[in-house]
Amino acid sequence: MILQSDLYPIGHVQKTHGIKGELSIFLTSDFDSLDFEYLVFEMDGILVPFFIQEWRFKTAETALIKFERVEDEIAGKDFVGKTIYVPKESMPASDDDVIDIQFYTGYRIEDAVLGEIGEIKGVDDTTENVLFQVMHKGNIILIPAVDEWIVEIDDTSKVMKVQMPEGLLNINEEE
Helix or strand or coil: residue 73?
helix
HSE-CB for 138 with a 13 A CA cutoff: 0
HSE-CB for 31 with a 13 A CA cutoff: 23
The domain that holds 51 is classified in CATH as 2.40.30.60
Q: Are residues 25 and 75 in the same domain?
A: yes
Q: Are residues 86 and 127 in the same domain?
A: no
* Strand spans (E) along the chain: 7-17, 22-27, 38-43, 46-57, 62-67, 83-87, 108-111, 115-124, 131-136, 139-144, 150-154, 159-162
pLDDT at 122: 87
Q: How far apart are CA 110 and CA 116, in angstroms?
A: 4
Q: Are residues 73 and 13 in the same domain?
A: yes
pLDDT in tens, 38-62: 999 999 989 999 999 999 988 878 8
pLDDT at 52: 94
- Split at pLDDT 50, 70, 90, the class of 154 is confident
Q: Are residues 86 and 105 in the same domain?
A: no
With respect to residue 175, please indicate whether it lies within any of the assigned structural domains: no
Give the structural domain span for 140: 101-164
Q: Are residues 80 and 154 in the same domain?
A: no
CA-only gyration radius of the chain, Å: 18
Name the CA dihedral angle for 66, 72, 78, 80, rounded to a multiple of 10 degrees. Answer: 60
Q: Are residues 51 and 112 in the same domain?
A: no
DSSP state letter for 26? E
With respect to residue 96, please indicate whether it lies within any of the assigned structural domains: no
